[in-house]
Amino acid sequence: MNKRVMLMPVLLIGLVLAFSSCAQMKTSAKPSAEGFVDPVITIEYIGLSYWEGFWHYGKAEVEKGTAPKFGGSAPVTLEFVFNIENPNPFPVRLDSSQFFLYFDDYELRVVNDNNEMWIPAGKVNKKVLHVTLTATTTEGKFALAGKQLAMERGDDPWKKIEEWWTKLPDMSFPIDLKEGAFSFSADGITKTVPYQVRYIQ
């Protein structure tokens, strides 16, 4: 009886060490090109970080400083919150992300981010990107990338921009992220995951 009692703690310690060893082997799995599974990217939400409504003025005299050459306009800062899941049994690093931002099929700008972030094995991290637009620079995009589409649809650039700026609090128009590319690495192995989504709240 005494021998059994004495053996029980030894057996329990042995079991704990065995489980710990297995868990360590699982979490420290070595990355390989064949076993590197694509991380899963989803958009949680797009929201407003800063918004003043819509306003714009042309050339103006200012009391101090220098007025902008092409006038001033309402800025808006958008917040893009992504969930990035790492399905691998080893940590991966998000090295960079990029996508093109569209409102109502109009290309507005390219968004780049090179802030690295480690994602633990089997976990989900949040990645937050902030993008600032102004009505003036958006109007400039109409003259370049959106000119043909505006002609086909009969859209007036300033009327369209005012519509977007006033609807932004409700996100009541289609917002697209296109040609996205999220680059990951693990132990020298790299992988680029394409991404695109249409966001309608």
CATH number of the domain bearing residue 111? 2.60.40.10
Q: Is residue 8 part of a domain?
A: no
Task: Indicate whether 129 belongs to any domain.
Answer: yes
The closest of 4, 30, 14 to 189, measured between CA atoms, is 30
Residue 148 falls inside a structural domain: yes
Amino acid type, 48: L
Would 82 be classed as within a structural domain? Answer: yes
Provide the whole-model pTM.
Answer: 0.80
- CA distances to 20, 125, 137, 145, 181 from 149, in Å: 61, 37, 17, 8, 25
- Digit-coded pLDDT (tens) for 108-162: 999 999 999 999 999 999 999 999 999 999 998 888 888 899 999 999 999 999 9
Residues lower than pLDDT 70 in the chain = 1-28, 70
| 32 CB-near residues (< 8 Å, 6+ apart) | 189
Q: What is the pLDDT of residue 28?
A: 57
Query: 32 in a domain, yes or no?
Result: no
> What is d(CA 190, CA 184) in angstroms, rounded to the nearest whole number?
6
Q: Which of 169, 187, 189 is nearest to 52 (CA)?
A: 169
Residue 170 falls inside a structural domain: yes
Domains held by the chain: number = 1
Domain that residue 50 falls in: 37-199
Please indicate, yes or no, if residue 66 is contained in any of the structural domains. Answer: yes
Residue 26 falls inside a structural domain: no
